[in-house]
Amino acid sequence: CHLIHYLRLSHHLIVLNYLICTFDKLKDVSSEDIKITDAVFDGVEVRVFEPPAKGDESLKRSIVYIHGGGWALASARTSLYNNLCRIMAESLNAVVVSVEYRLVPEVCFPEQYHDALRATKHFLQPDVLAEYSVDPSRIAISGDSAGGNLAAAVCQQLSKEEDLAVRPKLQALIYPVLQAFDFNTPSYQQNMNMPVLPRSVMIHYWIDYFNGNYDLAHELLVNNHTALNVGRALSFRARLNWTSLLPASFKKNYKPVVQSTGTAAIVEQLPALLDVRAVPLLADDATLARQPRTYVLTCENDVLRDDGAMYAKRLQHAGVPVTLDHFHDCFHGCMIFTVWPTDFSAGVQTRNSYIKWLDENL
């Protein structure tokens, strides 16, 4: 049974990787002469997108972008993300820094997080911002899926560092993955077999990110790792109680899956399951209250829909201005699929809404 499960997951990842490599052969899309350079920020590779200077204009706004792919796939250099960042740079007349963090299996948590944090902190230095003609008061941190996870974690850490001269004005999270506490939220139940990101594949990504054993997959799936007898998990339970954090339209008729007796050893084997650097939704209220104005994009046909919705609600409760941008007919990963032969209307719709929010708020 475990072998069959592993083979199915491996096949899914092989297909995803094949699609990414295939799309990488597509031409870049841009109508402007965006300058693209590769650089190294504090040991981390980045790709910088700079729009052309326009006469006597003042300093530009900027976005630090962290790509998705389950901490294991894709790249700042693939056509899919190259196109997205070029269009962002052009549409917003902004400098976009796309972070090329290291991937599973080369490294596991917390290295991806450290890469994203180091690159971002390097860029936020006043002399580096001056080099790229960036306005220090108009910087956003953003990312999609696993990149949204890293963006949220980086923002939380930056908010705790008292000696920073420059802080992000905004964070923009696109269908972010934010918790590994409950794999039976309504969206996980509703979309458990949804293409692109089935529940079993998301659990597989988490296990790989934490360098864990696939034998734990079933126990995670039924929430044995956060059962009522797992003492280390108890204090976090209220922070993602979806019965109070989600709107009725999301909850529908789904019931919580809470085991009375589970396996405490799972958290001992994978302590990162309860590490806020990996699971930003578990952050305390004081940390959330320090976050910048936030945009969260969610899709109905996505196991991660409720992660984003719960984070938005908790930020609102903490006093942070939040825009929850929900798309009823869209699916996980759709924003990067905007180039033929995958020029989906869902991709264009979500991308345009995201860029519009950045344009109005950054």
Do the beta carbons of residue 101 and residue 66 sit within 8 Å? yes
Residues 291 and 179: their CA atoms lie apart, in Å, by 18
DSSP 8-state assignment for residue 277: T
Q: Closest Cα to residue 306, out of 235, 243, 358? A: 243
Q: Which two tokens stand for residue 160?
A: 């705790």
DSSP line for 311-336: HHHHHHHTT--EEEEEEEEEETTGGG
Q: Which residues neighbour 63 within 8 Å (Cβ) at sequence distance 6 or greater?
A: 88, 92, 94, 95, 96, 97, 139, 140, 141, 142, 172, 358, 362
Locate 208 and state its tokens.
Answer: 């790989």
The label of the residue with tokens 């705790």 reads 160
Would you please indicate which residues are annotated as catalytic (active-site) residues?
145, 302, 332
Torsion of CA 279, 285, 287, 290, to 10 degrees: 130
